[in-house]
Amino acid sequence: MLATGGTIAGSSSNPASSAKYQAATVPVTALLDAVPALGAVARIEAEQLAQVDSKDMSFALWSRLVERVAFWSAQPDVSGIVITHGTDTLEETAMLLHLACVGTVPVVLTAAMRPSTSLSADGPLNLLDAVRVAADAGATAKGVLLVINQEIHAGRDVMKAHTSAVNAFVSPVSGPIGFVQDNLVRFVRTPSRLPAKAWPVPGAWPQVEIVASYAEPGRIVVDALAQAGVSGLVVAAAGNGSVHQSLVEALTDAAGAGVAVVRSSRTGAGHVAIPAPPRPAAGVFVSAGDLNPYKARVLLALALAAEPGLAKDPAALQALFTEN
Ligand code: SIN
């Protein structure tokens, strides 16, 4: 078990409030001690990798996480790996691990919406269910998973879609891939995509930022980012990937200057159409498919780190977004 912090490790002096608390305070040993039933499921070795509120997630911690997953996956007596994480940016870490940790040993993220000291804390059951899934033979070669609220989600597909509800996580296009009910771990489908090869985690990450399309966006942000030398931009476009005309112009100029531009959607669900021939409302930019802007940013950054020339090869970049 690799612990990184989050609300699952949060505590509060007021158990009746699930909003007023300090995230990332309770050590992983205490989280494990709070769930004696774990002893009947697995023998657990725990590492406190970090103690952070996931809003402050860093590339350094991502690198460390990938390194520790690789280490533990290679141990012959390890059946599965569970990672505790904050919910706020979990979908980004899940995307990174989906791309960077390709193997057969189950890698299962879990989290909680309520701190460990709150009334009806959801962390203990999520932790137990995550271990149940990581120890289950059915989880083998299913890629990186999130177990939360008795559901199993593919790491690539899952996103946080509610500020406070315990059922905050959804896989908006395809739904959960399975369920956990006490000792019953049931997979109902395989993940939509598993990468053919593990993407290397860069030592120095290329700068990739997110811009949004909305009424009268102006081009000042895109121009400033291009001038600052960003390597890539993900557009949180409207609807099915439509971009305001003023942004299309600015992004076209940025692309001409060597910035990789990818269109995602701000809607929260669905595929962004690949325009063929290019629609004026979309520009000619690469489609992120069904990846939301935050997930698309992770893939774009890894892709540009591995192959900086991709910015000038939209067809190759599009193929990566179609495959991963
Ligand atoms: C965090 O993301 O670390 C805090 C919020 C949460 O885990 O729900």
Q: What is the DSSP string of 85-105?
A: --STTHHHHHHHHHHH--SSS
SS3 309: helix
How high is the pLDDT of residue 10?
96
How high is the pLDDT of residue 18?
78
Nearest atom in ligand 1 to 55's CA: 2
Kindly state the DSSP code that residue 19 receives in the 8-state scheme. S
Q: Are 53 and 88 in contact (CB under 8 A)?
A: yes
Q: What is the pLDDT of residues 223-247, one digit of tens each?
A: 999 999 999 999 999 999 999 999 9
Nearest atom in ligand 1 to 88's CA: 2
Nearest atom in ligand 1 to 89's CA: 2
How high is the pLDDT of residue 278?
52
- Which of 77-81, 153-157, 310-314 is predicted least confidently? 310-314
Alpha carbon nearest to ligand 1 atom 1, residue? 86
Q: Is the pLDDT at 66 greater than 80, yes or no?
A: yes
Q: Give 290's Cβ-side CA count (13 Å radius).
A: 16
How much distance in Å is there from the Cα of 187 to the middle of ligand 1?
27
The average pLDDT across 265-292 equals: 81
How much distance in Å is there from the Cα of 103 to the middle of ligand 1?
27
Residue (of 164, 195, 189) closest to 174 by Cα position: 189
Q: Report the C-alpha gap between 233 and 310 in whole angstroms.
A: 13
Residue (of 107, 115, 167) closest to 139 by Cα position: 107
Q: Are 100 and 66 in contact (CB under 8 A)?
A: yes
Catalytic residue set: 7, 87
Q: What is the pLDDT of residues 169-178, one digit of tens each?
A: 999 999 999 9
Q: Is the pLDDT at 276 greater than 50, yes or no?
A: no
Domains observed in the chain: 2-187 (3.40.50.1170), 208-323 (3.40.50.40)
The residues pairing with 152 across neighbouring beta strands, listed in sequence order, are 147, 178
Residue (of 123, 118, 174) closest to 149 by Cα position: 123
Alpha carbon nearest to ligand 1 atom 7, residue? 86
Residue carrying the six token digits 């001690």: 33
Q: Report the C-alpha gap between 164 and 141 in whole angstroms.
A: 31
Nearest atom in ligand 1 to 24's CA: 3
Q: Report the C-alpha gap between 125 and 77 in whole angstroms.
A: 25
Instruction: Pick out the residues of the known binding site for substrate.
Output: 54, 87-88
Q: Are 63 and 161 in contact (CB under 8 A)?
A: no
How high is the pLDDT of residue 282?
59
Confidence of residue 277 (pLDDT cuts 50, 70, 90): very low
The average pLDDT across 41-68 equals: 98
The average pLDDT across 279-284 equals: 59
* Whole-number average pLDDT of the chain: 95
Q: Report the C-alpha gap between 314 and 260 in whole angstroms.
A: 8
Q: What's the Cα-to-Cα distance from 277 to each of 256, 273, 283, rounded to whole Å? A: 19, 11, 10
Q: Are 10 and 58 in contact (CB under 8 A)?
A: no
Q: Are 205 and 301 in contact (CB under 8 A)?
A: yes
Question: For ligand 1, which residues put their CB under 6 angstroms from it?
Answer: 5-7, 23, 53-55, 86-88, 111, 113
How high is the pLDDT of residue 124?
98
Q: Which amino acid is at 158?
A: V
Confidence of residue 17 (pLDDT cuts 50, 70, 90): confident
How high is the pLDDT of residue 19?
83
Cα 285–Cα 286–Cα 291 angle in degrees, nearest 5: 130
Tokens of residue 150, six digits = 């008795």
Where does the chain have alpha helices with state H?
A: 28-33, 59-73, 90-100, 123-134, 220-228, 245-256, 293-306, 314-323
How high is the pLDDT of residue 280?
53
Nearest atom in ligand 1 to 8's CA: 7
One-character DSSP codes across 253-276: HHHHTT-EEEEEESSSSSPPP--S
